[in-house]
Amino acid sequence: MSELKLNKSSGVRYLRVDREDAGQRIDNFLLRVLKGVPKSRIYRLLRKGEVRVNKGRIGPPYRLQADDEVRIPPVRQEQEAVPDSGEVPRGLRAQLEQALLYEDDRLIVLNKPSGVAVHGGSGIRFGVIEAFRQMRPHAGGLELVHRLDRETSGCLMLAKRRSALRALHECLREGAVEKKYLALLAGKMPRGSIPVEAALRKQQLQGGERMVKVADEGKASRTVFRTLERYPGASLVEADIATGRTHQIRVHSAHLGHPVLGDSKYGERDANRRLRQLGLKRLFLHAHSLRLRLPWSEEELVVSAPLSDDLRQVLQRLERDG
């Protein structure tokens, strides 16, 4: 993206779309260019024809082409909820550098630590993406490929280029990315594989808290649980998700009657209390591996993220007590 000209009297800007931004929807492009502007305002600009491409009106689904000329009207950009002020703390920078599992000129994969958000907001100054934008200043198109809950650890992908982001999103849509999780569930799970196909629906509670429930009118969701080890009152499972819905593993395991241990939202209070005595102070959910064929090289990438010491120690104590 490059700026062609600015009309100083009217404040109208004209931007030229480059190859990295080609293929992106105009509404998503505007959300990035006009940071801090509410979505409702951006859609109103499109609806009224104030944003134009090649001098013509377009709708939100329009996908930009290389060399398109985009007219951006003057819009007041409010300060973001969490301003990017100052440098990434040294401790967080070191933690994320040590968490790197794979990096090339298009992709970063890291073992995201539990407790680190993937992006800033709600009082969080720096998430993973804000930190890496400072740590990799020459990667101009750095974006999250997917997300992990703040408490969930493990494999997280970041794209360094818009073209890589689009290609990886296509892989995710086609089910060409194999993502597997490790989870410690309450109770004794049956041996073997247990598929769960239960539609999930998100809802917002009055206090703003987001909850997900099994509901017929929700989005189709599938998780396959495979029992790896059984301990007194707990089971270590591998979860293979065919869909990537919000809180999917946590809700599907609770639906089975075996919630993820350490889960304060969907879990069992008594079971969580017992595991806290064994040192479990967080959600026991870890994205432990991913496999995909890199679309730009056809090379197969297989990445594995080791469990953190605190989770391994919990398993050792369970095995000792068993």
pLDDT of 1 over the 70 cut: no
Choice between 211 and 260, residue whose per-residue pLDDT is larger: 260
What percent of the chain has pLDDT above 90?
65
pLDDT of 74 over the 60 cut: yes
Told to judge if 240 belongs to the known catalytic residues of this protein, a careful annotator would answer no
Across 116-128, average pLDDT: 82
Choice between 312 and 13, residue whose per-residue pLDDT is larger: 312
pLDDT, position 77: 60
pLDDT-derived band at 206 (thresholds 50, 70, 90) equals low
Give long-range contacts, CB 8 A cutoff, 24+ apart: 169-174.
169/145, 170/295, 171/292, 171/293, 171/295, 172/145, 172/146, 172/244
pLDDT digits (tens, 9 = 90+) for 3-13: 666 666 678 88
pLDDT digits (tens, 9 = 90+) for 123-144: 778 899 999 989 998 887 789 9
Question: How many degrees, rounded to 5, is the angle at CA 240 between CA 235 and CA 243?
Answer: 130
Catalytic residue among 149, 216, 240, 270: 149
pLDDT, position 251: 96
CA separation, residue 225 to residues 132, 165, 184, 236, 252 (Å) = 33, 29, 11, 10, 10
